[in-house]
Amino acid sequence: MRIEIKNLCKSFRGNAVLKNLNLSIPEGKISVIVGGSGSGKSVLLKHLTGLIRPDSGQIFVGERDITHLSEASLYPLRQRIAMIFQSGGLLGSLTVGENVALGLIEHKLAPRDKIPEIVKEKLALVKLEGKENEMPGNLSGGMRKRVSIARALTLYPELILYDEPTAGLDPPMSETIDDLILKLARDIKVTTVMVTHDLTSVFKLADTVNMLHEGEIIVSSSPDEFKNSKNQIVQSFIRREYHSAAVMIL
Amino acid sequence: MLSLFKRIEAVFSDIFLTAGGMVLLLGECIIELKYFASNARRIIRQMMEVGWNTLPLASMIGLFTGMITSLQTGVELKNLGLQQQVGTIVGLSLVREMGPVFTAFIVAARVGASWAAELGAMSVSEEIDALRSLGIRPVRFLAMPRFLAAITMQPILTVYSIVVGIWGGALVSVNYLGVSRHVYYKRLFDSLAMIDLRLCLWKALVFGALFSIVSCYTGLTTTNGAEGVGRSTTRAVVISLSLVLVADYFITRFLG
C-alpha cells in the first residue's frame, strides 16, 4: 500500500504545524520520519488514518484519496491500516487477550471458538505467550507496545504506522521492538511508516529516512545518504545538537 | 472592550458547539441502537452500573425523601386536622417531581460523573483513537451501550425510588402522625391519575437520555490530560443537573 501526500497543511489555533508537506511512502518498505519533539511527526502519522483532518492538501492511501472521506467511509479503510500508538493504546478495562481479540470480535473476522487460538498465536509472535489474562496496567511499556502490535496483526494490515515505538524503553527492549518491526516488514511485506527520533532504530530499520523540519520534509533519502547529508539541520540532528522550533520556544 | 467582546463570543461559540455536538451524538446513538444485539454484553454491564449498583443510594434517597415529605407536610396538616391527606401530598410530590428529579440527580452525579471520567481518561490516553484506528466506532462501542442502559434503567430506578419513598412516607404517617395505613394508601392511590405516572416515566426517560449524552460527550471530547479529565467530570455533572431541571420544567409545562 503506497502513500502519497501532496501540499499538506495543518494548523492548531493559528500555529502552523505542517506547511505544504509533500511525501511519498513506497509500498512494502520501511519509511522512517524523523524530527525533533513537537515537530509534527505524530500529527502527520495521524493524518494517514484520518484521525486528524488536514486544513488543505491531499492524502492518497493506496489509490484512494482519503482527504475528504467521511468518518464512516474511513472505518473500512482503517481495518487495513494498523496504528501502534506511543502509549500502546490498549483498553485498560480489557485483559491482554480481550485487547488482542477486539478487532476480530468487532469485525466478526473469525468464529468465536477460533479466537483464543488466534490470540495465542499473535501473542506468541510478539513473545508474550501466556499473558492473555493479564491487565494492561500490569505490563511494562515494552510489553504494552508488543500487545498493541499483536492486536494490529489480527487484522492482517497492509500498512503499519508506528508512533515512537521505542520511546521510553531501555536499550534491550528497544532492540526487541526493532527486531519485531523488521521481522514483520520483511516476513509479511507490510508497508511500514515509523515516526521516531531514535537514531539507532533509524539506521537499523529504515529503507528511506524523511526529515521533518518546521512543517516540511527537508530530506528524503536512504539511511547512508542521510548519514552523509551535507544539510546542516540533518547533521545537527545526527550529532544530537538539533533543536526544533517547539523546543526553542520552551 | 474588544477582549471582553471576544470572550463573550468565545463563550457563546463554546455553548453552541457543545450543544451541537451533543445533539449529533444523540442522533448517532439512536442510529447505532440497531446494533444493540452485538453489543449486548456491554449494554448489560452498563445497565448493572445504572440500575443495580445505584440501588442502595436510590433506596436511601427515596426512603428519606418520602419520610421528610411526610413529616414536613404531615405536621402542618395535623395542625389543621387534615393529616389524613398526607398520602395525597406524598404520592403526588414523589410521582410528579421528586422521584424523577432526585433519581436523575443521584444517577447523573454517580454514574454520569464516572462515565465522563472513564471516557475522558480513555480520550487522553489515546484509547479512543486506538479504537478508531482499529475501525471500531467509539459511539457504537462506548456511547450507545451507555445511552441505552440509561434510558431503560432510569425509569425502572425512578419507579423503585418512588415506591421506597411512598413506603418511607407511610412509616412516618402511621407511626408519628397517627394516620392509618389504609387511609394513607387509599388517599395516595385515589389522588394519582394515569397521566401522573406517564409524566413520571417520560421525565425519567428524558433525564436518562440527557445525563448519558452529556456524560459521554464531555468524556469523548476531553483533552489536556488529567486536568482535562477532572474538568470534564465536573462539567458533565453541572450540565446534566442543569439540563434535568430545565427539561423538568418544559415537560411539566407541555405534557403535564
Q: Read off the pLDDT of residues A154-180 as tens digits, 9 standing for 90 and up.
A: 988 999 999 988 887 888 888 888 888
Kindly give the pairing relationship between strand A64-65 and strand A208-213. unpaired
Mutation pick from B41, B114, B115, B126 vs chain A, by most beta carbons of A within 10 Å, is B126
Three-state secondary structure call for residue B160: helix
Q: Which residues of B touch A151 (CB under 8 A)?
A: 134
State the Cα–Cα distance between residues B234 and B60, nearest whole angstrom. 24
B126 interaction partners in chain A (CB closer than 8 Å): 85-87, 89
Assigned domain for B219 exists = yes
Report yes or no: A201 and A20 within 8 Å, Cβ to Cβ.
no
- Name the average pLDDT for chain A: 88
- Backbone phi, psi, residue A108, to 5°: 50, 50
| Pairing of the two strands A64-65 and A56-61 | antiparallel
Residue A200, pLDDT > 70, answer yes
A32 beta partners: A194, A209
Q: Using the Cα atoms of residue A173, residue A175, residue A176 and residue A182 in order, give the sign of their dihedral.
A: positive
DSSP for B63-119 reads: HHHHHHHHHHHHHHHHHTT-GGGHHHHHHHHIIIIIHHHHHHHHHIIIIIHHHHHHH
Q: Give pLDDT, residue B221.
A: 95
CA angle centred on B248, ends B247 and B249, rounded to 5° = 90
Q: How far apart are CA B119 and CA B238, in angstroms?
A: 17
How much of chain B is helix, strand and coil, in % rounded to 5? 90, 0, 10
Q: Give the percent of chain A with pLDDT over 70.
A: 96
**Cβ atoms < 10 Å from Cβ of B242:** 12
Rg (CA), chain B: 21
Confidence of residue A247 (pLDDT cuts 50, 70, 90): very low
Q: Is residue B112 included in any domain, yes or no?
A: yes
pLDDT in tens, B13-69: 889 999 999 999 999 999 999 999 989 999 999 999 999 999 999 999 999 999 999
pLDDT of residue A250: 41
Domain that includes residue B124, residue range: 40-255
Under a CB-based contact definition with an 8 Å cutoff, are residues B88 and B187 in contact? yes
Find the helix packing angle between B194-220 and B113-124, rounded to 10°.
20
Contact A39, A213 (CB under 8 A): yes
Contacts of A9 by beta carbon, 8 Å cutoff, 6+ apart: A16, A18, A19, A20, A21, A54, A55, A56, A57
Closest residue of chain B to A52, computed from CA coordinates? B129
Q: Inter-chain contact B136–A106, Cβ cutoff 8 Å?
A: yes
The confidence score (pLDDT) of residue A64 equals 87
Q: Considering the domain boundaries, does residue B198 fall inside one?
A: yes
How many domains, chain B?
1
For A91, the closest of B127, B135, B137 (CB atoms) is B127
Closest residue, chain A, to B135 (C-alpha): A75
In a domain, B25, yes or no: no
Is the pLDDT at A186 greater than 90? The verdict is no
In a domain, B21, yes or no: no
In a domain, B33, yes or no: no
What tens digit of pLDDT does each residue of B209-242 get?
Answer: 999 999 999 999 999 899 999 999 999 999 999 9
Asked if the model's pLDDT at residue B1 lies above 70, the reply is no
Q: How far is A19 from chain B (nearest CA, A)?
A: 24
pTM above 0.90, yes or no: no
Cross-chain Cβ contact A79/B127 below 8 Å: no
CA distances from B14 to A105, B9, B18, B57, B210 (A): 37, 8, 6, 34, 18
The average confidence (pLDDT) of chain B is: 94
Q: Given pLDDT bands bounded at 50, 70 and 90, which one contains residue A241?
A: confident
Question: Per the CB < 8 Å rule, is B134 touching A76?
Answer: no
Per-residue model confidence (pLDDT) at position B43:
96
Asked whether residue B8 is assigned to any structural domain, the reply reads no
Q: Is the pLDDT of residue A214 over 60?
A: yes
C-alpha grid cell for residue B35? 446494533
ipTM here: 0.86
Q: pLDDT, tens digit, for every residue of A30-85?
A: 999 998 888 889 999 999 999 999 999 999 998 889 998 988 889 888 888 999 99
| Contact in structure between A234 and A219 (CB atoms under 8 Å) | yes
Among B93, B87, B94, which Cα is nearest to B188's? B87
Residues of chain B with C-beta less than 8 angstroms from the C-beta of A79: 134-135
Interchain pair B133, A89: CB under 8 A: yes
Residue A248 has a pLDDT of 46
Go through the domains of chain A in sequence order and give each one's CATH number.
3-249 (3.40.50.300)
Cell digits of residue A56: 488543505
B135: nearest CB among A107, A148, A151: A107
B226 CB near a chain A CB, below 8 Å?
no
| Residue B250 placed within a domain | yes
What is the C-alpha separation between B221 and B19, in angstroms, rounded? 13
**Which residues lie below 8 Å from residue B100, measured CB to CB, with a gap of 6+?**
B158, B200, B203, B204, B207, B248
- Say what the pLDDT of residue A243 is: 63
Q: How is residue A22 written as a grid cell?
A: 509533500
Cβ-based neighbours of B112, under 8 Å, separated by 6 or more: B211, B212, B214, B215, B236, B237, B240
The pLDDT of residue B138: 95
- In the stretch 113-132 of chain B, residues with CB closer than 8 A to chain A read 118, 121-122, 125-127, 129-132
- Rounded to a whole number of angstroms, the distance between the first and last alpha carbons of chain A is 38
